[in-house]
Structure 1
Amino acid sequence: MSRVDTELALIASRFQLEGAVQSISPYGDGHINDTYLITTDQRRYILQRMNTDVFPDTKSLMRNIELVTGFLKSQGKETLDIIRSNDGATYLEDSAGAWRVYAFIEHTISYNLVPNASVFRDAGAAFGDFQNELARFDASQLTETIAHFHDTPHRFADFKAAVQKDELGRAASCKPEIDFYYAHADVYPIIMDGLKDGSLPLRVTHNDTKLNNILMDATTHKARAIIDLDTIMPGSMLFDFGDSIRFGASTALEDECDLDKVHFSTELFRAYTEGFVGELRQSITAREAQLLPLGAKMMTLECGMRFLADYLSGDTYFATDYPEHNLVRCHTQIKLVQEMEASEGRMDAIVEAVMESGSAETAENAKGDAL
């Protein structure tokens, strides 16, 4: 093994793994944590060095995950399986950082781009079902792992501070992008105000519902497990719905340089809405349904704003591969927002049709039950 491999092997040896370690290699394309695939002569595992700058309260973070995965397992759901350290802890710390290990969930795949509407519909159903399950979980047990994570007005305040500080002198070259986010300031408080006044219910939410956080069965392509539970916190269902649409209803990756390839698909929006609302039909409120399109727009605005703020601040949060990476990401999000705004009437009509089809189905079922 190389020096790095040897260091990782030493970390791995401190967890309760089955078999002798054969290899450890980088895995995945996440922005935040460092992730490795461990292969032993018996099975595979995921090793992660957690980003303690983003998640400074590692103890509370892992307690959240332990509570949620334990609850989901008690409901018969497939979920992340924490592998404990040799002393029985859910993670360990050393001079290089904080480390955890999960069992690798075999015979699964994930998608960075939606391959077809059917898969995206199933993804919507998976996250809807995830929220249904956690509706029975006591959210008061959870700690807020990142303060103000989807508090868009707070994110906007951070954005304005980054523009004002202009740490690397990049703001002058980003004036159109900066102006775009200032021009949308009136919509940023809507969801948070709804949570505060009670017009939107507080729910346990995943808060990072990108398509690649669902593991699909490699044969059936049906959802099996929701992963990346670091941001499990109380919030609005609009956060989860909106971030899924931001990521999944785009025709390109979020760092696509050619904006001619970046489009918002109303058909993928329809497919996800059918799956998500189909699972949550008994609990979704009229106000939540009305604001589903806004949730998609809000999460796209918020994410693009964060990419641009990070670019202005020297790329200290999101992992980047080249100097303009975060600016490129910002551009894709702006393009998506623009196309969402052009499609607002269509999005509203889709939600209304999905809600009405459910009402008709409910009425028909009730009629059948009465016969």
Structure 2
Amino acid sequence: MSSKPFTWAEHLKAQEEAQGFAQHCRATETNLPQSIQEPKLSTELRCAFQQSLVYWLHPSLPWLQLFPRIGADRKIVGKASPWSQDEALQQALMSDWSVSFTSLYNLLKAQLCPYFYVCTYQFTVLFRAASLAGSDVITAVVSPTTRGLREAMRSEGIQFSLPLVEESRTRKQKNSEVNLETEVAKSLEVEPAPSDDDDDESFSWLEEMGVKDKVKKPDAISIKLRKEKHEVQMDHKPESLVLVKGTNTFTLLNFLINCKSLVAVAGPQAGLPPTLLSPVAFRGGTMQTLKARSLNAKARVHLAYEDIFSLEIVGPILPHSLHSLTMLLKAAQGGAFSAILYTHEPTAVFNTNLDAEAVCKDLSTCGLHPKTLDQLSQCPTLGKSSIRFLEMKDYAYTWKS
């Protein structure tokens, strides 16, 4: 929203659209002046706008909306899906998808791609290159997860952490005065079941205190049940966020390629490979653009009506696109605009801090503007939330999450 019109974003000429695509593919760095007097006449601004709307997608099935995938059954139901009953076609789609997924990971590892998303019908994975979000190694975050998925990952030898569970546990330890009763209850909830050999040893300290007879010794089954209940309780919630780091991300790649539950076996999404979203080109990826349209309206302010101008951008708006667009709006709208953002809720938790320190690795060839890259390299500060409202006044930002 702005008090100035968005006519500069309308009816791009064929030459401007073509130039915007070329600038994207060649990762051309556009640096606009702080303020543009006549935005509608600025070819540089209009080309940069087209450049900022580009993203890459796989698979590309024009009659299906492939993002978001979580909760998308109603939008896909009734649409043609010739692969749903054709096993050979499903295998061909998955084989093609595996090649594209591997291509993206290789680009990420070579620091030629900053990040990408894998969107399944049950969870989303964000792979980030080393130096993004303050990490000095490649990271992957998965959300939401279930106990079954986490157990499958463990059995494949993937080492991972649950940052929000660990953060909550640390906070509780700091804030509470732990007495004997709560300490015993807590150990029943989060510690692994002890073996028969160390049962007596683990309770010997109670005997020394003279209270062994008053405390009922838990059996291995009840400890296991309590632990399983604790594990299942966080399923599908933000707290189920899984963090994978370093070489374990390659093991995760192989796990996902071979994971049977990655693709739905029934329902409207049956046999449909996950959606891959990337800011840069990759093997099998299709260039797409976000949809943009400008609207004019009248708003009542005090006793009079004033013109209000808005620009609506629809589609999977990736983080780098949001940052690029704010840089364009700053120049075109005279340093004053506001934006309402609609987040894909399951991904808001990706803003969780990974307890890393900001590091600087050379991602200069990854295709992002240096200022955008600098922004995405910072340690996240939003936690489980995301920016819902962004406002700029006199070239200064404020936001609400």
TM-score range, shorter chain: under 0.3
Under a length normalisation based on structure 1, what TM-score does the superposition of the two structures give?
A: 0.26
Higher strand fraction (1 or 2)? 2
Q: Which structure ranks higher in relative contact order (CA pairs < 8 Å, sequence separation ≥ 6)? A: 2
Higher helix fraction (1 or 2)? 1
Under a length normalisation based on structure 2, what TM-score does the superposition of the two structures give?
A: 0.25
